[in-house]
Amino acid sequence: MMEQLTLLLFERMGILLIIAFMITRVPQFRYLLDGRMNLRKGLLFSVFFGIVSIAGTYAGVTINGDRFQSSFLIVRLSADEAMADSALIGAVVAGLLGGAWVGTGAGLISGVHAFWIGGMTGVPDLFVTPLSGLISGWIARFFAEERVIAPIKALFISVFPPILLMGAILIVHESSESSIRLINLIGIPMVIANSIGVGIFVAMILAVLREEERAAALETQKALYIAESVLPYLKQGLSYETAGAMAGLMLRELKADAVAVTDTEHILAYAGVGTKRHVAGERIKSEISRRALLTKEIQITKEKEQIQPHHASIGAAVIIPFCSGGEAAGLIKLYYQSPRQIRPVEEALAKGLSKLISIQLDLAMAEQLRRLIKDAELKAMQAQINPHFLFNTLNAIHALIRMDPDAARRIIVKLSNYLRMNLTMTQSALVSLAQELRHLKTYLSIMRIRFDDKFSTEIWCESGLESVQIPPSTLQPIVENSIRHGFKERTGAGIIRLDIRRLDHKIHISIKDNGIGFDDVKIKELGIAPLHNSGGTGLGLHNVNRRLINLFGPDAGLKFMNLHEGGACVEFTIPANAQEGVIKV
């Protein structure tokens, strides 16, 4: 008898679980599983699982003495009849998923229904079913780190509510002979059926959540791929060509029936259903598109009259705005033939796509601005002319006009050439070594006239290196430092040696002089920052060092040292093919 009852309960429970499985396929049920529990969702959970418990009651077996009846939908029970059912499944699962109060709510709905049906189990069910939901929710708190409790744990927890129900039957009926006979008959089958049913139900819910997570991961991956693929077109600026490429890409990836791309005023491209009827360049007319541009929020419409461009087979649209610098830059319009095609997954994808494209555009703009700022900074540093050099040269010209007009004339011509070369060279991030050396020699010819040939220079450049690229005005500030500071207190003739040679696939450049050398304290600060109260700011060396590092990396920075035989040396290395090193402009 007990074996037959167990098999019958399993059969009824199987039908109940099949129905539950079908319910888990419904999007509204999946919505209940998403996000945090709130009052509204808690009430929906309670009602839903209360109905599941009622269905478990109706799927039960009517017991009358030693006989049981397997017919469905028993309306009322007589006083000597009882119900062996799976009603506890709904209350326990509600408590495990929604917490103590949700489980209690579902249990109350089921318990009141069982009390209304009556029979020997009516009153015990009224108290035990909500109590089971309460206890299940309370126990679930100990597994709060798990989104859904593991099926094996749920199965173990659900063993106790049927035992509790058996005890309540004995209490309510004062351990009568009929109640003891009833418990002996239904006790073990109900424990087995309800505990296994709860485990299977929880396993189905876990499977649903895993499906949702996989779907979300796939949509996230798709959104990232689309944003990455679209970015090169957006970087080129919104044009009919780039918009057309974007529309075609998104039509393939998003499975929409049609895709349009716009700027803030016109439709730039349209692909998909009805392409032949639409011409690029149409103005944006629909109110929903204007609203998307104004609010910078995604708009979803399932009304044909709100969709533009109109087409007979298009019945719904998702309007996705994308922004640049905080302002709306355009729209991506996804058109669908049926409103049912716009599922929560499509809405979430649209939101993610809007944010990703906007972020990518902002990053691209920030990178472009950074490059422009860096380029402007480099050009500003390259264009700087030491004011002391200019003022002192003009003063020398003033003095020579009366004493040696020919020398004054020569220095004016050379200064003019120097300034013209300086202006031309600073238009580029890099110039050839040949140009840089001509610029340096022009500067030196001016300085020799000013200092009456009190110093000499020796320039040696390895053959074949004339075309090597170097930042303009790199050598002149280093040589100027030797003349102004290295020879400042020297009585004899000064010598500057410039050596340029290939070394280990790089170009090594050194400038040595026989002057007084660098101050032992200040040598550590040279090139790192402008110096103050040192008879000179060191701004020229600082600018040269910054440009070299910005263009070629930290290994290209200036190195300062004093020579054992007296004097100073400044050296640095640059790539043999300098164009390959320009990575930070």
Q: DSSP of 409-449, one letter per residue? A: HHHHHHHHHHHHHHHHHTTSS-EEHHHHHHHHHHHHHHHHH
Q: Are 240 and 250 in contact (CB under 8 A)?
A: no
* pLDDT 10s digits, 432-478: 999 999 989 998 988 888 877 788 999 999 988 988 998 888 898 89
Summarised one tens digit per residue, pLDDT across range 250-279 is: 888 888 888 888 888 888 888 888 766 666
| Distance of alpha carbon 343 from the chain centroid | 23
In this prediction the pTM is: 0.49
User: Strands 327-336 and 316-324, how do they pair?
Assistant: antiparallel
Q: Tens digits of per-residue pLDDT, 144-171?
A: 777 778 889 889 999 999 999 999 999 9
Burial (CB count <10 Å: 0-12, 13-18, 19+), residue 562: middle
Mean pLDDT across the chain: 83
Give counts: helices (H), strands (E), the chain. Answer: 18, 15
What pLDDT, on a 0 to 100 scale, did the predictor assign at position 3?
81
Residue with tokens 């927890």: 157
Query: What pLDDT, on a 0 to 100 scale, did the predictor assign at position 338?
Result: 82
- DSSP H/E element including 26: none
Instruction: Indicate if the pLDDT at residue 221 is higher than 90.
Output: no
Residue 538: which pLDDT band, with cuts at 50, 70 and 90?
low
pLDDT at 119 over 60: yes
Give percent above pLDDT 70 in the chain. 88
Averaged pLDDT for residues 499-515: 91
The pLDDT assigned to 583 comes to 37
Q: Is the pLDDT of residue 547 over 90?
A: no
Rounded mean pLDDT of 548-575? 90
**Confidence band, pLDDT 50/70/90 cuts, at residue 92:** very high
| Band of residue 501 on the pLDDT scale cut at 50, 70, 90 | very high
pLDDT, position 584: 36
- Return the pLDDT at 253: 83
Distance, in Å, from the CA atom of 249 to the CA atom of 232, rounded to the nearest integer, reads: 12
User: Which has more pLDDT, 23 or 77?
Assistant: 77
Share of the chain above pLDDT 90, in %: 20
Structure confidence at residue 582 as a pLDDT band (50, 70, 90) = very low
pLDDT digits (tens, 9 = 90+) for 43-60: 988 998 999 899 888 888
Q: What are phi and psi of 312, to 5 degrees?
A: -60, -35
Instruction: List the strands of the sheet with 316-324, edge to edge.
Output: 267-272, 258-262, 327-336, 316-324, 299-301
DSSP letters spanning 316-366: EEEEEEEEETTEEEEEEEEEESSGGG--HHHHHHHHHHHHHHHHHHHHHHH
- The confidence band for 126, taking pLDDT boundaries of 50, 70 and 90, is very high
For residue 581, pLDDT beyond 80? no
DSSP 199-242: HHHHHHHHHHHHHHHHHHHHHHHHHHHHHHHHHHHHHT-S-HHH
Q: Tokens for 294?
A: 């104004």
| Predicted local confidence at residue 167, as pLDDT | 93
Q: Is residue 383 pLDDT above 60, yes or no?
A: no
Decide which of 471 and 308 is more confident.
471
Mean pLDDT over 498-519 rounds to 91
